[in-house]
Structure 1
Amino acid sequence: MLRVSGSDIVDAEGNKIILKGAGLGGFLNMENFITGYSGHEFEHRAQLAEVLGKEDAQFYFDRLIHHFFTDEDAAFYASLGLNCIRIPFNYRHFINDLQPDVLKPEGFALLDRCVEICARHNIYVALDLHAAPGGQNQDWHSDSGISRAMFWEFKDHQDRAVALWEKIAAHYKGNPVIAGYNPLNEPADPTPDAQGHHGARLVAWYARAEQAIRAIDPDHILFIDGNTYAMDFRAFPDKPLPNAVYAMHDYSPMGFPTATQQYEGTAEQKAKLRASFERKVQFMRGHGVPIWNGEFGPVYADARTMAGGAAAADEVNAKRLALLREQLAIYAETGVSWSIWLYKDIGYQGMVYADPASAYMRLVGPFVAKKERLGVDFWGIVDKSGVGSVYDPFVKAFKDMVDPRFHDKKYPKIWTLERQVERVVRECLLSEYLGWELAELFRGKTRDQLEELAESFALRNCKQREGLNEILRKDVLGQISHAS
């Protein structure tokens, strides 16, 4: 099994291992921009159950999960030289909120299938609790349905998460395929410590979870995300946890469609990338522990929706790939392990993505385009100006109602008041209403038709983002360097 030795991850013989791979988002934790629905996963599932009936809806989701990651995917993944996959999972696969004391065996069956597939292709697995009870952060991917991280306000939520990890540790104890456990994805705890740094409850929960897991499984690595979406370690104690890899996330605003500045490869931009990364890993550097960049990666332009068509999209994507190369070159300098976001989706970030001509994309494509126009899903927003006439006056009036002294009071403070408003109004409320509109597209579908829709995500029916995959392959071969 892998373990930590100083600032390195090593195998059983003591050989240094650098983990390189991707996150398997949209699978055991679904996300709106990855598969095209709006809002939150539990809403999406409930809305389809209302339209299709519970049994047919469950059949569809089961088949979608089946096709989303198979031996064919693992073989392709390994062919690029990637050696680890991060598997985000939703607590709802294990815990029924109305019967929380009984863990569902279905969750372990889903994880076991993935682990067995990866074992056959020599791929390590990092298990990532991406959505915890109550939501460990304020965003859609914690699947709470609200804009508060209630995980930090209810001890019962925290207890459930610890108990779940105890069961997972008992289940996978001694399994060498498991690289380690990622107890919480992107926690965002607003609780200040004595110095005023956010994350006091997070630090306490990590200490508790570590002891609980170690009492059962003393050997597997823990991948510890920083606070405030894996970017802030200021509240963390000076003594790192044993056999732990500390994880940060390194998304660059220059890689997003709504960025005010696109990446051009200037000296100033390169310095900004490096400074942002070094700020996030200051804790790891100072304590001599391994670094894992658990998520990063740009969002790519789509020729079908890009003004200017294919030529314009190609130009933008060349800049996004150049940004990615520069980030990888920075990581390579000190042997940072990484997990790009993400492996498979409908075309925003994935190494592979659903074919626009597939049955699924033919069905949901117009709905996805509407979401883009309305700016509903943050990751899928191409241009918010189309709804400016609606939201700009509203946000201005909202700001005028609030004393300016408190405009930046709400945590996370990296989000402006405008961002806080659009998260609640668009990404929580409007998105839920639109979810019923998507569900109606499935009405009357037979099981054969549902199978065809789910099968759109099978690797053989997907397209490959070849430029991205070639960069990842070159990095594995040690052929990535800083561009002049």
Structure 2
Amino acid sequence: MFSAAVLVSASIFLAGCKQEPVLPEAEASGKSPSANQAGAVCWLEVKGKQIVNASTQRPLILRTMNLGAWLVQEGYLLNPQGCSGCPSTQWQMKRQYRNQGKTEAEIEAFYQSWRDNFITKADIDYIASLGFNSVRLPMHYELFLTASQRAVRNSVAYAANDTDRGNKHDAYKQSLQNWYNSNQLFNGGDLEGFKIIDRLLSWCNANNLYVILDLHAAPGGQGSDGNISDMFYANNLWQFPVFQNVTNRLWERISTRYKAEPRIAFYDLINEPNNVTGGGPAIHSLMQRLITTLRNNGDNHMLMIEGNGWGNNYDYLEPYTLSPNWGLIYNAHRYWINPSDDYVRDGNPNQINRLINLTEFRDRHNVPVWVGETGENTNDWLRQNITKLNQNGIGWAHWTYKRYDVYENSALMRIGGNYPTDGAAVMSTVLNQIKFQNCIKNNNTIAAVTSTLPSPGSTICK
């Protein structure tokens, strides 16, 4: 039997995307479901080195747009020119507003408006019109907390000094443990994170697009790079069991709500682990736990594995080390690689961001590979990169759709006007400028990234 939440989610389908329950024997067998078992003409699965439509068995290359900065503000996306004392994380951005006299309620209202306006159906319609067949949603775990739970986390950001912040962070960790123990985490469809996913699914269904759920800001922080994870202290995900427990519980709740949703292509379990305490074995332990939880929950979605080194190194994470290991996809993030270096093997065959290592890893382990992020470079670099990936049958996700700048940049859309880092005085201007109709198209970048895309909607569910 499906829960009520799953049935509600499963009703959000594109016309012609028929859904039937996953058969119990598929859940118990430990094997990937057949097309009949999956019961959806849109369902995707792994077949050897390819991602295929489960009904037709035709390969599908996921050409994707990242929706960066929507749910996780990364500092460099907010002010690429930089400034003295610029916030580099979202919590530091909140602290700046608080120090400039804004109340917590006003700051929360600002972020609600940011989420309501940064990506709308108009943005998804436009992405689809360019020929992309999917979007990747970088998520912040805090959006699956209740407002009162999020306020406890915010208290860490608003601490008076470093000592106070440490004490409040300890109190927050204890609160998380108490909520976990008493089953008070991630319950109910009215949480902001679930509402955003539901809304995005509706927009993508209308446009024949898949959605990839990416846990971008994981509980505790998945490395030393605070910019991507909005963490308070480095590597707490790996150092404190409570954060791993919370991560596991979050994916369990997401799975329970969406395991019957064929418009979700796969789950990207943890974005860009980096400089991880304990290295590959520590990542392996949590990845194995998440895989076990999701498969025991009867969830047959494909699962993206990301390794150390910002999602590029798979020491101790090869497919044969994980069980069950069906339905796995391996990731690379490709930034600023000298084009000629793509044909020079990295000495570590498990370091796979160079093209030759990426394709050889795929062939050696008979698994699909996918480039979850690439971009942030010149248009010439973007063109040659996409050409290489297309020629090798590797899907990719451009980073990113929108970002601030005064000049054309590597995003598709440029946000003009005041930067968020300009402070509390310009908050209303910022909220107006992020709207689709007020953004500026980076036409040269758009041409470089989209010139080889198929006709809109031509590769989905056919």
CA distance in 2 between counterparts of 1:342 and 1:19 reads: 16
Counting matched residue pairs gives 356
> Deviation of residue 189 (structure 1)?
5.5
Counterpart for residue 23 of structure 1? 66
Q: Report the AA paired with residue 287 of structure 2.
A: Y
Distance 1:48 1:111, change over 3 A: farther
Cα-to-partner distance string for 1:39-81 (whole Å, 9 max, x where unaligned): 2112212332442212221221111111111111011100110
Counterpart residue identity of residue 229, structure 2: S
The structure 2 residue matched to 1:70, chosen from 102, 113, 120, is 120
Deviations 1:103-160 (A, max 9, x none): 35222112222222222211111000011111111102111134x2121111111111
Please state if 1:13 is matched with 2:56: yes
Check conservation: 1:134, 1:149, Cα contact below 8 A. Answer: yes
* In structure 2, distance between residues paired with 1:272 and 1:471: 25
CA distance in 1, matches of 2:363, 2:68: 29
Which deviates further from its counterpart, 122-131 or 148-157? 148-157
Aligned to 1:314: none
Q: What RMSD, in angstroms, separates the aligned Cα atoms of the two structures?
A: 2.3
Alpha-carbon offset, residue 238 of structure 1: 4.7
Structure 1 residues 189 and 160, CA gap change in structure 2 (3 angstroms)? farther
Q: For residues 265-344 of structure 1, what are the structure 2 equivalents within 5 Å?
A: 268=340, 271=343, 276-299=354-377, 320-344=378-402
Q: Please give the alpha-carbon distance, in whole angstroms, between the structure 2 residues aligned to 1:110 and 1:190.
A: 30
Determine the structure 1 residue equivalent to 2:434.
457
Q: Which moved more, 1:173-182 or 1:98-107?
A: 98-107
1:233 lines up with 2:309 in the alignment: no
What residue number does 1:431 align with?
A: none
Do the aligned residues in 2 keep the contact of 1:49 with 1:56 (CA within 8 Å)?
no
The range that moved more, 126-135 or 235-244, is: 235-244
Partner of 2:404: 346
- Would the alpha carbon gap of residues 217 and 472 (structure 1) be closer, same or farther in structure 2, given more than 3 Å must change? farther
Matched residues in 2 for 1:452 and 1:165: separation? 36
Q: Deviation digits for residues 291-315 of structure 1, max 9, x if unmatched?
A: 110011134xxxxxxxxxxxxxxxx
Paired residue secondary structure (2:411): coil
Give the structure 2 partner of residue 411 of structure 1.
none
The structural deviation recorded for 1:281 is 4.8
2:97 aligns with one of 43, 48, 53: 48
- CA distance in 2 between partners of 1:244 and 1:237 (Å): 10
CA deviation digits over 1:319-349, x for unaligned, max 9? x111111111211122101101111111343
Secondary structure at 1:25 match in 2: coil
Residue of structure 1 in register with 2:336 after alignment:
252
**Deviation for aligned residue 1:176:** 1.4
Residue number in structure 1 paired with 2:292: 211
Is the Cα contact below 8 Å between 2:235 and 2:277 reproduced in 1? Answer: no
* TM-score normalised by the chain length of structure 1: 0.69
- Tell me how far apart the structure 2 counterparts of residues 2 and 46 of structure 1 sit (CA, whole Å): 42
Aligned residue for 2:6? none
- Counterpart of 1:324, as a letter, is L
Query: What amino acid is the match of 2:401?
Result: Y
Question: Percent identity between the aligned chains?
Answer: 26
Q: Is the aligned partner of 1:33 residue 2:111? A: no
Check if 1:470 corresponds to 2:447: yes
Contact 1:131–1:185 under 8 Å retained in 2: yes
SS at the partner of 1:199?
A: helix
Gaps of 5+ in 2: 1-42, 80-85, 154-171, 347-352, 456-462
